A = this chain, B = another copy of it.
Amino acid sequence: MRIVVVAPSCTLRPEAAEAATAIAASRGDAELVIHPQCFFSDGHFAGPDEVRLEALREVMADDRYDAVWFARGGYGSNRIAEAAVADLPAAARSKTYLGYSDAGFLLAPLHKAGLEVAHGPMVQDVARNGGEAAVNRALDWLVRRDESSLEPGLKAGQRALAFNLTVLSNLLGTSLEPDFTGAELLIEDVAEHEYRIDRVMFHVTGSPAIRRSSGIRMGRMSEIPDNDPAFGSDAESIVRDWCERSKIPFLGHADIGHDAANRVVPFK
């Protein structure tokens, strides 16, 4: 399987590209093609919007690739997401798209357009402790839809969507918003203060579109900065509280997060 890597938000580290490429090569069932755009740099981003968009559109339209794997998160894919899904070429429809975090801004409209997308590990995750397992988990799913890569709570016949909570909040009400009706919604976040998690849970659970989901499952909320004074409740209590207030069922935990254990959630 030929998997192409582009970076719609921030620059990929060359060491990470090399390490992930070597893992794929050693498996014998997958070839990673790292688009040069991954190493571009323009302020916060892996190249200007037009360059990131052009690289993404180019690989989406290229018949030689079976999957598009997003290099890493950060910030910026929202800036090109609407244009990325306009007038989709046929070749774009026969591919799988994988990523999470900021890449959720792309997963949402790609899913909405009927393409096959999943929330799961990215190339840069190879640099994490245990990162080789994350890369193999992603490849196992991309290459042979290995069920052991999947988030273990997913149920056959049950719609599911997964998002970074802050990204989800920022796409609600925009043209990128997908249909949440009847879907389990898995959320995770990283490096947000508890007051921000509380505020964004207020926003997300206050959305009529989100209230049409079948419930929320909570992934890991990691690297939460200290609140001064102590906030008074932890991330799980916050999520449970807003679920209760909004009458959205709290469905337990999800094995996703900004870490090497992050499992795959195919959107459906």
Give chain A's interface residues, CB within 8 Å of chain B: 41-45, 75-76, 78-79, 169-176, 194-195, 198-200, 202-203, 206-209, 227, 229-233
Contact = CB atoms under 8 A, between A and B. Distances in A.
12 contacts: A43-B229, A43-B230, A43-B233, A44-B195, A44-B230, A170-B199, A171-B203, A172-B173, A172-B203, A173-B203, A174-B203, A174-B206
B43 A202 contact: no
Contacts of A76: 195
Contact of A44 (B79, B174, B232): B232
Given A172-B173, A206-B173, A206-B175, A232 B78 contact: no
Closest 3 interchain pairs by CB?
A43-B232, A174-B206, A170-B203
Contacts of A42: 232
A78 B174 CA distance: 22
Contacts of A78: 199, 202
Contacts of A233: 43
A111 to B, nearest CB: 17
A170 B202 contact: yes
Given A43-B230, A75-B198, A175-B206, 12 more contacts: A42-B232, A43-B233, A44-B230, A44-B232, A78-B199, A169-B169, A170-B199, A170-B200, A171-B206, A172-B203, A173-B203, A174-B207
Contacts of A202: 78-79, 170, 174
A231 B44 contact: yes
A44 B195 CA distance: 8
A172 B41 CA distance: 33
